[in-house]
């Protein structure tokens, strides 16, 4: 049979999916310009109420995600191959891990680990009753920060990605967030697919706006420290334009070209920089403190994980740090999950969890020990720089590059660090642009490409970059936080429902695969395929 010829025009835009973000953000921009103080105050009032009422659910949602991953890692279900017994992997394990590492941690791990150690130790939660800067506060800060950049981050992402991959490859459902509810609700969920995917896209765009805003601040501060460039609106706009062009082009080139190349190179840069700091930094101190903090993190994991400080007069530390991070993870979970799913064809469920969660967690653990230890050593042992004062004067984004002034070859390592920030920035935006673009279209039978059309990807690339700049120019990183928290709670509830439905399907043995008495997987070809047709009809 002759191969079907690709028709790049055989697709339709999902108007509701694209329109929800466009309309809501337009309203946000207008209201923010007309009366920004009132607008921000009202939103923060709503967010504070939601955190007071549902903060406990955020903690339990993260715990449930981690449990889900560990269950499938250890259970015989982990042997099931994504895509069926004949599916073949498309990427090497290193490339797979590299893309997963960069898309998951992005620029966050470049910016925050040393800053978190200093921030948490010098301003610990009031409910912990710790003296600022004390050894107990330092260890607690280390424990909390390490937890953020290992098990909680990847527990949320991989739980979402596992459901996406299995539903897409094994249940043959459409490539959309709505499909992850199929195990819970069946075909009836597709009646609301456009609204669900539209809200997800809106949440993601808001989340990316905040993350890109932080990235722009860090890049601008790097230019200031290295080249003496004055930071401000002009620098932000120029940086945003350059970075947006780069990540949009690399997204358009496709997963197997631009994103794969960036992921490989950035992972090598991560490893090289980590190795350099291990060689020339206070590694013995970092390993001692990091090992001690690891023991504390394990011992106090459930206490720290469920910390809410509900008493009157608290400083709302959980809201500004734990819950903001966890909500951020949940906001990115649907699209990060879809992105991770695209890399996983031909791999087993156990491989998926190992490469996307266990291996990045180990890397994040080592990275946090080394760079967090360097920050602690600088602040409390050599006392060569008051990093807490740097945070107060110039923000968290200044800490990482300031640390390299304490090490040899700063003239080389600081520009290298800036390159890593840029590539991490680009990889994050890449992953989101690629995934959101695919969610924005319905393809026909003659559309045979894996990626969305270039025009759709260019639209989303420019749109997200523009939102990030507008938030910054209007003092809007706080506004971005509001949007994240406000939209994040519905996404949290959605992801918990997705996980419950997925677990229920396996426990009730409603899957097309069964585990035989000898522990081997028995595959069944009778797999439901109605979802794609229902989504196509809904789009029409």
Distance CA 58, CA 51 (A): 9
What local confidence, expressed as pLDDT, does residue 478 receive? Answer: 62
348 φ, ψ to 5°? -80, 165
pLDDT at residue 446 above 60?
A: yes
When comparing pLDDT for 247 and 495, which is higher?
495
Distance CA 320, CA 310 (A): 14
Nearest to 490 by CA among 186, 208, 195, 209: 195
What local confidence, expressed as pLDDT, does residue 226 receive? Answer: 82
**Could you tell me the pLDDT band of residue 479, with boundaries at 50, 70 and 90?**
low
SS3 292: helix
* pLDDT average, residue stretch 303-320: 88
Distances (CA, A) of 237 to 56, 75, 220: 39, 50, 10
**Could you tell me the pLDDT band of residue 531, with boundaries at 50, 70 and 90?**
very low
Nearest to 526 by CA among 515, 537, 539, 510: 510
Domains plus CATH for the chain?
Answer: 11-309+327-539 (1.20.1740.10)
Percent of the chain with pLDDT over 70: 90
pLDDT at residue 385 above 90?
A: yes
User: Is residue 407 within 8 Å of 286, Cβ to Cβ?
Assistant: no
DSSP code per residue over 296-312: HHHHTHHHHHT----ST
pLDDT for 234-271, tens place per residue? 888 888 888 888 878 877 776 556 566 766 777 788 88
DSSP code per residue over 428-441: HHHHHHHHHHHHTE
pLDDT for 38-94, tens place per residue? 766 777 788 788 888 899 999 999 999 999 999 999 999 999 999 988 889 988 888
What local confidence, expressed as pLDDT, does residue 32 receive? Answer: 64
pLDDT for 193-219, tens place per residue? 888 888 888 877 777 777 777 777 778
User: Is residue 442 within 8 Å of 14, Cβ to Cβ?
Assistant: yes
User: Is residue 385 within 8 Å of 298, Cβ to Cβ?
Assistant: no
Q: What are the residues whose beta carbons fall under 8 Å from the beta carbon of 143, sequence distance 6 or more?
A: 293, 296, 297, 300, 304
pLDDT for 369-382, tens place per residue? 999 999 999 999 99
What local confidence, expressed as pLDDT, does residue 314 receive? Answer: 84
This prediction has a pTM of 0.85
Highest-scoring range by mean pLDDT, 350-364, 437-451, 514-528: 350-364
> Which residue reads 């522990």 in tokens?
519
Burial class (CB in 10 A: 0-12, 13-18, 19+), 328: buried
When comparing pLDDT for 186 and 247, which is higher?
186
């Amino acid at each position: 049979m002759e191969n079907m010829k690709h028709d790049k025009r055989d697709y339709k835009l999902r108007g509701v999916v694209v329109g929800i973000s466009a309309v809501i953000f337009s309203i946000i921009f207008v209201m923010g310009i007309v009366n920004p103080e009132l607008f921000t105050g009202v939103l923060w009032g709503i967010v504070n109420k939601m955190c007071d009422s549902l903060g406990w659910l955020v903690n339990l949602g993260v715990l449930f995600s981690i449990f889900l991953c560990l269950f499938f890692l250890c259970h015989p279900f982990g042997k099931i191959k994504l895509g069926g017994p004949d599916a073949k992997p498309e990427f090497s394990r290193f490339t797979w891990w590299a893309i997963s590492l960069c898309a998951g941690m992005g620029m966050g791990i470049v910016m925050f680990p040393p800053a978190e150690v200093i921030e948490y130790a010098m301003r610990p939660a009031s409910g912990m009753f710790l003296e600022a800067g004390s050894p107990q506060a330092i260890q607690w800060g280390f424990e909390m920060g390490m937890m953020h950049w290992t098990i909680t981050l990847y527990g949320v992402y991989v739980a979402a990605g596992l459901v996406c991959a299995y539903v897409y490859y094994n249940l043959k459902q459409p490539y959309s967030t709505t499909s992850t509810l199929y195990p819970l609700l069946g075909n009836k969920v597709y009646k609301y697919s456009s609204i669900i995917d539209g809200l997800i896209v809106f949440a993601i765009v808001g989340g990316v706006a905040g993350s890109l805003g932080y990235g722009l601040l860090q890049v601008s501060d790097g230019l200031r420290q290295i080249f003496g460039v004055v930071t401000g609106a002009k620098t932000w706009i120029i940086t945003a334009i350059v970075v947006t062009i780069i990540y949009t082009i690399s997204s358009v080139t496709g997963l197997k070209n631009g994103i794969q190349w960036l992921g490989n190179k950035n992972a090598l840069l991560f490893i090289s920089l980590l190795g350099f700091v291990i060689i020339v930094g206070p590694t013995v101190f970092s390993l001692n403190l990091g090992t001690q903090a690891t023991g504390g993190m394990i011992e106090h994991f459930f206490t720290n994980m469920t910390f809410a400080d509900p008493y009157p007069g608290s400083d709302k530390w959980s809201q500004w740090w734990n819950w903001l991070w966890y909500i951020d993870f949940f906001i990115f979970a649907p699209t990060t999950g879809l992105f991770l799913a695209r890399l996983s064809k031909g791999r087993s469920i156990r491989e998926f969890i190992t490469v996307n969660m266990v291996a990045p967690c180990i890397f994040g653990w080592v990275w946090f020990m080394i760079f967090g230890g360097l920050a602690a050593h600088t602040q409390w042992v050599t006392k060569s720089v008051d990093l807490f004062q740097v945070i107060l004067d110039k923000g968290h984004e200044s800490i990482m590059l300031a640390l390299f002034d304490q090490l040899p070859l700063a003239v080389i390592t600081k520009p290298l660090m800036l390159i890593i920030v840029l590539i991490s920035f680009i990889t994050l935006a890449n992953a989101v642009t690629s995934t959101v673009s695919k969610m924005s279209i319905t393809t026909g039978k003659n559309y045979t490409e894996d990626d969305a059309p270039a025009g759709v990807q260019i639209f989303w690339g420019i749109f997200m970059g523009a939102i990030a700049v507008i938030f910054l120019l209007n003092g809007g990183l706080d506004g971005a936080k509001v949007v994240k928290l406000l939209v994040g709670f519905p996404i949290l509830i959605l992801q918990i429902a997705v996980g419950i439905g997925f677990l229920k399907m396996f426990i009730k043995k409603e899957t097309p695969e069964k585990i035989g008495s000898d522990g081997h997987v028995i595959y069944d070809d009778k797999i439901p395929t109605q979802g794609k047709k229902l989504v196509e009809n809904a789009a029409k």
